[in-house]
Each structure stands twice: as C-alpha cells, then as structure tokens.
Amino acid sequence: MAAAILVLSGCAATPSPESAQGDLLGSVDTMFGTVDVPTPADGELTVVALGWSDAEMALSLGVVPVAVYDWQGFGAENKGVGPWATSLFGDTDPQIIERSSDNLNFEQIELLEPDLILNTRSSNDEKEFERLSQIAPTVSAPEGTAAFATDWATQLSSVSEALGLADDGQSLIESTEQSIADAAAAHPEFAGKTTASAAKFGDAYGAYLSGDGRFDILSDLGFVSNPAIEALGSEGFYVAVSAENVPAFDADVIVMLPIGYTLAETESDPLIASLQVVKDDRAVFIDPDSELSGAYSAASVLSIPVVLDQLVPELAAAAS
C-alpha cells in the first residue's frame, strides 16, 4: 500500500487519461445532487479540503490541497494532517481554514479561488453546501449518509471521482481492505467477540457506531458491537452513554478513547474502572497524546496502516 501511494504521489496531480476527455475532470453523486468538476483551464487544480480527513484522502492520490480544515488539531507544524501524512505536502504550506463563530470563514476560502472544495465527511449542512457551491464545485457525502459518518472507503471513492482519479482511488481502497483482511485473518480470535468503541469527554461518555471509523475498523477486524450499546439507540455516528449506562461498555473487549482527559484520568475513572472488562485486562486505553489516538480518529487511507500496526497487537493482548 505504501508503495502504491508513493507511485501515485508522483503522478496524480494531473487528470488521469480516462478523466481528461472532454471538459470535466470528474463527476460525483452526492446528497445534494450530482456535482460536476470542470477541468481547470490552466491545468492547475486548486483544492480546498474541508471535511474530516479530506486532505489525507487527496494527498493519498498525489493531490496537494492549498488549504485544510484542521479538525483534529494536528497544527501548522503537521500542516493540518496527521504526522503520517505531513511529508506528502512536500514544500507546500497549506492555509489552515478556521471557523468564524459557528460558520466557516467563507471569505478566506473564496480568496483562495479554488477549483474544487472537498467536504465529504462533515455536518452535511445544506446551507453551508449552498454557500460553498457559490465559490466552487463542492463535493459532499453520498445520499443517506449521517453527519460525519462517511466511511473511509466511500470518502476516498468520492474524492477520487472528483479528482478524475477513480481507478487510482479504487486501487488504494482494495489494497487497504486487503491489509485489514490480512490482519483479521491473522487474529481469528477477534471474530464474533463483542466490543465497544468508547469515549470519555467532558462530563459524559459515548460510543461510536457503524459509519464511524473508530468503530468500523474494529468491525472489519471481526468484532461485533455490544448489544447493550445497540439498545441505547443511535444519534448518527455515536450514541451518548449516561453514567448509569456505562455498564453497556462491558463487552468482551473495549477500546477507550479519552477526549479532553489524560490517560491516567481515564484509567482512574471509577465508573470505567468498575467494569469487569477493565478488571480482567480486556480493555485497550488509547493515550490521547499518542500517534495512535490521532490515527484511530482520522480513519483515512493513510492513517489505517498506523492503526493496524499499533492497535492490533493491543487488541490481541486484550482478546487473549
């Protein structure tokens, strides 16, 4: 997979032959209709990446965005993406897009004069889409996708179609899926075990659901969602878990991600510490300051190898 990305990064900044025919670079079906992306008259494609991990998806195809919305706070030193992806920007320093109050800084985006805006893993706000579409063709999630619940393969497919690099995107999807399948095959003990992709944030708890990469990677490795969590209902890509419902985390194996808490604070949380799964050392606590924490949440084609390398051994120890 790494070799494939390196090859793509050397040649993908221009349209592939299949997409260079006619005046369209790409065309994508979204929840707001079909979005056509014209081929830039000067041959230089200017891309703004707004959606969660959209920049990493573009970079995996060799396309360098001029601006990035830094959802995970990776910072300017990492160019708004995970450290595993920073080098793919080369000498380019993208602008970091910020929000003004509750809205995107549309003026900042407009001044960049983009040819394409990627917003494929976002809130799916129609008014935001309409405003962005006044600036440039804007690619959102496919129809029926919940807010922030675009799975990584669908996201990469949409981005690659918009860039006229559908075949390259499909190759990356297949190689990544194979890497995940190989990890699952190497650990048959994962199959059918219940799990919770849990989080502690603010004064609350929550669990990620199908459609969120933090659960989907566990599912792809063979785990199944703990029925007690499914019974709590859905709120898009996650479900809020009240203090009295924290026992729903008591699955065969859990992965606990602190948000706004240190690792030590999370491990010492009395409700979490009381769970049998924790007492039996069947819990994986992710250090919020670790590379794994960022990769687990990014759920991009570039971050998944980091997750497979670092999380799978911890899951194996917990599942044994």
Cα gap 271→79, rounded to integer Å: 38
Q: What does the pLDDT look like over 247-279, one tens digit per residue? A: 999 999 999 999 999 999 999 999 999 999 999
- pLDDT tens for 113-166 read 999 999 999 999 999 999 999 999 999 999 999 999 999 999 999 999 999 999
Q: What is the pLDDT of residue 59?
A: 98
Domain-wise residue ranges, the chain: 2-178, 187-319
Nearest to 140 by CA among 113, 164, 161: 161
Q: What angle do CA 292, 121, 102 make, to 5 degrees?
A: 100
pLDDT for residue 2 = 42
List per-residue pLDDT tens for the chain, 320 residues long: 444 443 333 333 334 433 444 589 999 999 999 999 999 998 899 999 999 999 999 999 999 999 999 999 999 999 999 999 999 999 999 999 877 667 889 999 999 999 999 999 999 999 999 999 999 999 999 999 999 999 999 999 999 999 999 999 999 999 999 999 999 999 999 999 999 999 998 778 999 998 899 999 999 999 999 999 999 977 678 899 999 999 999 999 999 999 999 999 999 999 999 999 999 999 999 999 999 999 999 999 999 999 999 999 999 999 99
In a 10 Å sphere around its CB, with 0-12 CB exposed, 13-18 middle and 19+ buried, how is residue 79 labelled?
A: buried
Superfamily of domain 2-178 in CATH is Nitrogenase molybdenum iron protein domain (3.40.50.1980)
pLDDT at 20: 41
> pLDDT value at position 204?
87
Burial of 115 (0-12, 13-18, 19+ CB in 10 A): buried
CATH 3.30.465.10 given to domain 187-319: no
Q: Which of 201, 208, 169, 176 is nearest to 307 (CA)?
A: 176
Q: Which two tokens stand for residue 253?
A: 């194996």
Alpha helices in 134-165 (DSSP H): 152-162
pLDDT at 133: 98
pLDDT in the model for residue 177: 98
Give the per-residue pLDDT at 197. Answer: 97
